[in-house]
Copies of this chain bind each other. A is one copy, B any other.
Amino acid sequence: MNEKEFLDELKEIDLLNQALKLQDWDIQTGMPEKANEDRSELNSYLYGLYFSKKIGPKIKEAIDYFPQHPEELSEVGQVVFEKVKENYELEHLVPEELMSALTAATSKAHGKWQEARASKQFSDFQSALTENIHITKQLIPYWRKEEKTDYDVLLNQYEPGMTVEILDQVFAQVKEGILSIRQTLKEKGKEPATDFLSRKMTKKQQKRFVVEVIKQLGYDFSRGRLDDTVHPFMIGISPNDARITTRWDEHDFKMAILGVIHEAGHGMYEQNIDLKYAHTPIYEGTSMGIHESQSLFNEIIVGSNRSFWKKQYPFFQECAEGTFDDVSFDDFYRSLKHTKSSLVRIEADSLTYPLHIIIRYEIEKMIFNEGLAVEKLPEVWNQKYEEYLGVRPENDLEGILQDVHWSGASFGYFPSYALGYMYAAQLYHAMGKDLAVDEILASDDYSSIREWMTEHIHQYGASRKPNQLIQDTTKEPLNPQYLIDYMEKIYFDVYGVEKTNSK
């Protein structure tokens, strides 16, 4: 074993993974419907080749060899080796029967979730969800390193270093902040008009606008592409190929335009990782939360910025070919930041969104750390929505059945969405010390923003943990106050609320 052999093996693993990712992209962007079964066979065959290499004899050999001969690894090799070892330990310790059981359970649960959505009855999903939770609980001991609680173990799968202790504190602060802003808006705010948001803008018009905008933001179409899909996503297929997708609604331009700007943020992350990490597990986002910080920076920080829209609105009007000529810039801008309680997370605005995540977090924590009975979930869910958002689902479809994640046993994933938002606000604050962000967004050249993000976040890929990136870049650990201050600034502005000294 030497470093070259080790890296060559990782490259083969990466190439198989690339093939799998291209297939996945294809499945989601227009594979013929009847090719589904053919494709499953192909996927499981290639996945078999991939996985058996990933935990195969060469990797095992490397894991035994290099700790005895650390001097044989270059700097990059050392970083890569640590990550490979971490992944290997997570994966090879788990008994194969348990992984097979999980695969079978989630596959079944996905079907049951869809049935339950059709009947709008949680009871149709209950036993499958119970089984997913049961198997996940059995997996936790194998995944555990030094985490204090069971749910900490799950959080760490998606956000290394994140704990219930931290989240309890930051989520309490965020929740209080949002509720306070909402209260102020209710008492003193002026609601923006939104009636023109549903005016027809064709897909072609929307696409012309948003493609130009994400190019300006730094998404590189020579190393990516934009396609239509049902559930939008970004996928990094190879180092020079980070593709994004969207869906379009001709009577809701916000959806695709902000959606594409969001996915472009993910894509820009993957397009700017240092190529020295190519073909290794370092060439990817370091966590779900940091990945989401990049997409939400684009979508919410840039996409809520008055200077940005002031600059873009004439071009937007031009693309819309007259449809918005009677709407003043101020009315247009304010309409984008209208806030209103909603039942469905993915339809939530940027003020209420974190409350959806906090509810999901509290419930997941109750399931794994406090033994909450599965049959009680809908009631707990509905009560929390009433309490935090003042709305109560009329059925389970618009309540606890709304998201796919639990059917895939992705417990611990949801907090990433809110973490990404908090990171984005904190990064924006740090960026503001180096750059005149508003001025840049009012100008013809946004490149310094993308470059700042590459310098501080993108380039490192998975070589640095989320908390290290945030600490190094912002000189402090995760601090939710930046998000609260940011939301207050945006919404008080849009709703015409004078900032008082009480804060």
**Residues of chain A whose beta carbon lies under 8 Å from any beta carbon of chain B:** 12, 15, 18-19, 22-23, 26, 30-35, 37-39, 41-42, 45-46, 49, 220-225, 237-241, 243
Contacts and interface: CB of A to CB of B under 8 A. Distances in A.
A26 B27 CA distance: 13
**Chain A interface main SS type:** helix
A18 B30 contact: no
A319 to B, nearest CB: 18
Contact of A240 (B30, B34, B221): B34
Contacts of A225: 30-32
B41 A221 contact: no
B35 A238 contact: yes
Given A12-B45, A225-B32, A240 B19 contact: no
A258 to B, nearest CB: 23
A239 B38 contact: yes
A43 to B, nearest CB: 9
Given A22-B22, A35-B240, A240-B32, A46 B15 contact: yes
A15 B241 contact: no
A379 to B, nearest CB: 43
Given A32-B222, A32-B223, A15 B41 contact: yes
A212 to B, nearest CB: 18
Given A19-B19, A45-B15, A240 B38 contact: yes
Contacts of A38: 18, 238-241
B32 A241 contact: yes
A156 to B, nearest CB: 31
A14 B42 CA distance: 9
Contacts of A35: 223, 237-238, 240-241
Contact of A224 (B32, B221, B243): B32
A243 B34 CA distance: 12
A15 B34 contact: no
A493 to B, nearest CB: 39
